[in-house]
Structures are given as C-alpha cells and as structure tokens.
Structure 1
Amino acid sequence: MSTAEGDDTVQPTIAVTGATGRLGGRVARLLAERGIAQRLAVRSPDRAPALPDAVAVRCAYDRPDQVRSALDGVGTVLMVSGSETPDRVEQHRTFIDAAADAGVHRLVYISFYGASPDATFTLARDHWATEEHLRASGLVTVVLRDNFYLDFLPELVEADGVIRGPAGTGRVAAVAQDDIAEAAAAVLTDPGAHDGATYSLTGPEALTLEEAAGVIARRTGRPVRFEDQTLDEAYASRAGQAPDWQLDAWVSTYTAIAAGELEGVTGDVPRLTGHPARSLDDLLAARS
C-alpha cells in the first residue's frame, strides 16, 4: 500500500512528478507493477494513486523548499512538464535548480517533439527553454520529446462532428499517452543506459486531420469531418475563451501541423517499449 505523506518507511531512489495526472499516473502505475519503489512528488498527496512501495510527498514546482525536501535522497527524477501557465518556464527552472540542490543525479524530462526557440507551436518554445536550463544545471539528463497526444485527437471533434483549425493538409505523428508512459517507465527501469539521450516519441504514422476525422468516424459510427480555417477564422472562433497566450497556443497547435513540424515518424517508441507504437485506429479500437 502507499504510505502517507511524511512517512519515510519507503526510501525509493526514483521520484515521479505529476502522478495525480494522466501521464505521470500511468508511469507510476507501470513502475509499481515492476516492483520499483518510488516517491510521488505531487501538489496534493491525498490525490496520489495508492500504489505498492510508493510514498506521496508534497511538491509544488514553484516551492523550492518543498522540492528539496521531496527529492532529498532521490537519485533519478521524472519531471512531467507543469500545467500550462504564463510562468511555466520559471516554475520549471525553480524545480530544476532545487532538484540539483537536493542532490539529484539524473532528471528525465517530458518535453515536446521538435522543441526549439522558434517552433511554430508556442508551448514547444517553453520546452526548449526548459531543456536549455536543464542542460546548464549540471544534472545528467534524459529528454523524452513527445508529439501531440493521440488521445487528444478525438477531443478535437466539436459537438457538430467537425474538427476545425488552420492545419491545412499538414500531418501529425501523434503518440498515445500509454506509449509515452511505457517509454518513460523503460527509461526509469534502467536509467543509466539512457544518460544524455534525447528521444522523439511518435505514433507509427503521420495523419492529416482529414484522415484522422475519417478514422474517428469509422470507429465511432458517427459523421466526423475536418474543416480547414484561416488564421483569422481560427482566432475569431475562439475569441474570449481564454487569455491571449492560451489562444496562441491553441491556434498554433494547428499551424504547427500545417507547417510540417510534427510529421516526422521515429522508431523511438518501439525501441524503448519493445512493441509497435499504437495508431489512432488501435487507440479507438481499444475503447470500443
């Protein structure tokens, strides 16, 4: 059973952040299934999953005191990127610095495919800034750059059965969250074998959103189609729903696809997990 906050009867050398979320929670469960003790560094320990040989400790990225306490004695940390906020990069830097202060040796970071300072997808620039800070921190690093979540594609379908956005005929090699989690768990199971590596995690194919709509329609049995938008139409249809920085992130999800920045397919998922990456059809078939 999991131990309560502050109970140090379990002394794991691996810490997993974001374990109350979909991705971090998947990784934590996979490690538990493999009998690996872990510390779950989370904002709300009472929401952490109850897992064998796991201890939940309070850890907010913007609280260096909590980070140092949570990671004391831990050698390897999985850092799932924080919630999308205007100060996310600053929170990431605070966490990385505090992890180094705590004596952490290795940090495995969940980044984004094609992260760069001039990426079309605005949040990919945040990931690049985080990677740069991580490289300068002195920590041994492993970077997992995942493409857009395959699980997210069906959620793009609006109530009227239409996916709308300025993606044109661009393609996206979206990757299943289960595959990302399995790749991360593989790295954490034998972390020294991956030191210094950067992996780009993708699905097995690159789809246009029109093709994705066709797969979703076939699997769900309801009409689904893609409607390309101009940039002005994209912003107008989302106006007032979020702050400007978030609107930019939403719209650039599609323009990054249109720019061809997310279409590359890699073999890193099968290389790390030992099985083929899941396709959109695989994902939807498993849900039916």
Structure 2
Amino acid sequence: MGEDERPGIAVTGATGRLGGRVARLLAERGVAQRLAVRSPERAPDLAGAVPVRCAYDQPELVRSALDGVETVLMVSGSETPDRVDQHRTFIDAAAAAGVRRLVYISFFGASPTATFTLARDHWATEEHLRASGLSTVLLRDNFYLDFLPELVEPDGVIRGPARTGRVAAVAQDDIAEAAAAILVDPSGHDGATYSLTGPEALTLDEAARVISRRTGRSVTFEDQTVDEAYASRAGQAPDWQLDAWVSTYTAIASGELDGVTDDIPTLTGHRARSLDDLLAGR
C-alpha cells in the first residue's frame, strides 16, 4: 500500500461488539480504515478496510499497525488487572508511530475516586492521554443499555445493591454512531469530552418492568446489601473482578450514573435509543 493509499483512520476492537459496529458504519460511508486487531483473520470483511495485527501490550506491533495513520479509535482493552499499563503502552506506541489524534472510549464520570472501580482505570488512561501530546477526543459512555437485560438471572431477578439509584444507560448502536460521526470529520472535535447517555435515567426496578413488558417474562429487581452482593458472587471471579461487578450496582446507588445529556442527539442527529426502543428492535 503506497503512502497516499494508507487509510487515515484505524479502528481497534473491530472484532468486538462496539469496534465492529463502528467499523461497519465507516465502511457503509465509504471511509477507508485500518482494523487494528489481535486476530486479523477474525476481522470483519468490509469494503475499504485493511486488517492488521495489533496488541495493546506489544509496542512493536502497535507502531507497525498504526504507521501512517492520523486518527485512531481506541476501544478500551479487555478487563484485566494490567489494563491501564496496556493502555499506556498502546498510547505511547501510537504517538511514536506518528498518530496525531486518538478518540478514546472512556466511561461516564471517569474519576480517580469513582465508585465503579473500572471507571478509575479510564481516568488513569485519560490522564496518560492528556500527557501524551496527542490530540484527544473522549467519549465517556454510560453503562451499555444492551447490558441491562443481561443482568437478569435465570430465575428472572436482577440482584444487586443499586437501591433506588438511576442509570442513564446508552445503546451500543448510539455510541458507535457517535464515534463514526466524529471519525468522519474529527478535527472539529479535538479536545472535546462527550458524556454519552440514553434519553432517560432508570432505576433497576423500572428497567425490570420494561424488560418484563417487552419480553413477556416476569422480571423483578431485588435490592441487596453490599455484603449480600459479595456473598452471592463469592468464588466466581478474582477479587478485583468481584469489586467491579458489585460496584456496577453501588455506582448506580451513589447517583454517579444519573443525568441525561444531549451528546448522542448532537453527534448523531437523532434521539438516543431507550431501553424500550432497544428491546423493540428500533
């Protein structure tokens, strides 16, 4: 591929749910792109897309994959104890490869003191980005709306210490559309931070009722104490992951995931999808 033929955009995570959505949207718009993935053979077959091998923790691969690319969509890496270190390695290697701009999928209310433990990882990544010299765009998405139905246990109950807190969860399709809109014309967004939410903030009791209505299945919410939440999940995962699971609910209880923004409609030109819309296939 000649210098003038190199795609100016690279998308990471294209074998996953979110990155794959973004890659498909860009292909539909005729945008050339490089798909920077661990397993190129698993990358989607898209017009104008070139799969290249890349791993966040291998700087040589990153530099090779991103050589000649101007703008990178960085989907956060898999949840592991060393995820922040991998993110830092990737960012440094991207800068060394000559990347000018990085669009990062962060988390709503990312903070070093966030109740949701993984939001602290996103804050640490943002801090490294701010010090990297790269132009950055931060997409701080709320919990995935698509994830709420997955909280329902086999007996039809959502269990967790969320109390009556609200979560302004956002559909992955809307996040992908927002990211694609930025990647098509990124320069106007340099330095921006967007907080991506759905059109409403629901309690988990309200979410359970929507799921019941749309699926015809009896779904309820059972509020747990924090101790009950840990006890019911004990032995299922390492401690750091149990903390992440439980803090999913305590973050909702704290009010840190409440608050609806207009960033999805601003970026996509349409109203954000609600849980009812999602379950109805709209």
TM-score tier (shorter): over 0.9
CA contact (8 A) 1:115 1:127 kept: yes
| Of 18, 22, 31, the match for 1:23 | 18
Partner of 1:79: 74
Equivalent residue letter for 1:83? S
Q: How does 1:100-115 map to 2 (within 5 A)?
A: 100-115=95-110
Gaps of 5+ in 2: none
Query: How far is the alpha carbon of 1:7 from its aligned partner?
Result: 10
Q: Is 1:130–2:125 an aligned residue pair? A: yes
Residue of structure 2 equivalent to 1:121: 116
Task: Measure, in 1, the Cα distance between the counterparts of 2:217 and 2:179.
Answer: 35
Q: Which residue, 150, 154, 167 being the options, matches 1:155?
A: 150
Contact 1:8 1:55 in 2 (8 A): no
One-letter amino acid matched to 1:171:
R
- Amino acid of the residue matched to residue 159 of structure 1? P
What TM-score comes out, normalization by structure 2 length?
Answer: 0.98
Instruction: Give, in whole Å, the separation in 2 of the partners of 1:275 and 1:10.
Output: 33
Q: 1:7 to 1:230 in 2, by over 3 A?
A: farther
State whether residues 10 and 37 of structure 1, in contact with CA within 8 Å, keep that contact through their aligned partners in structure 2.
Answer: no
Contact 1:134–1:141, Cα closer than 8 Å, also in 2: yes
Partner of 1:272: 267
Which residue of structure 2 lines up, in the alignment, with residue 169 of structure 1?
164
Tell me how far apart the structure 2 counterparts of residues 75 and 8 of structure 1 sit (CA, whole Å). Answer: 12
Name the CA distance, whole Å, in 2 between partners of 1:11 and 1:124. 34
Give the RMSD, CA atoms, in angstroms.
Answer: 1.2
Aligned to 1:69: 64
Residue type at the aligned position of 2:180: A
8 Å contact kept, 1:113–1:147: yes
Question: Which residue in 2 is equivalent to 1:259?
Answer: 254
Cα separation, 2, equivalents of 1:164 and 1:125: 24
Q: 1-side partners of 2:154 and 2:80: how far apart?
A: 27
For 2:115, give the aligned amino acid: T
What residue identity is the alignment partner of 2:134? L
> Which letter maps to 1:152?
F
4+ residue segments displaced more than 3 Å: 6-10
Deviation sequence 1:235-265 (CA, Å, 0-9, x none): 0000000000000000000000000000010
State the one-letter code of the partner of 2:275: L
Task: Read off the aligned partner of 1:185 and give its amino acid letter.
Answer: A
| 8 A Cα contact 1:203 1:265, kept in partner | yes
Contact 2:3 2:68 in 1 (8 A): no
Q: Distance in 1 between matches of 2:21 and 2:4?
A: 23
AA in 1 matched with 2:112: P
- Match of residue 92, structure 1, among 80, 84, 87: 87
**Deviation per CA, 1:2-59, whole angstroms, max 9, x where unpaired?**
xxxx999951010000000000000000000000000000000000000001100000
Structure 2 residue 141 is the aligned partner of structure 1 residue 141? no
Q: Is the 8 A contact 1:77 1:108 kept in 2?
A: yes
Q: Deviations over 1:173-212 (max 9, x none)?
A: 0000000000000000100010000000000000000000
What is the Cα deviation at residue 105 of structure 1? Answer: 0.3
Aligned to 1:3: none
**Alpha-carbon deviation of 1:106?**
0.2
Displacement of 1:131: 0.1
Counterpart of 1:228, as a letter, is D
Partner of 2:176: 181
1:222 offset after TM fit, Å?
A: 1.0
Whether the 8 Å CA contact 2:251–2:257 is kept in 1: the answer is: yes
SS in 2 for 1:286: coil
In the TM superposition, residue 220 of structure 1 has moved relative to its aligned partner by: 0.4
Output the CA distance in 2 between the equivalents of 1:103 and 1:264: 37
User: Does residue 43 in structure 1 map to residue 19 in structure 2?
Assistant: no
Asked whether 1:56 is paired with 2:28, we answer no
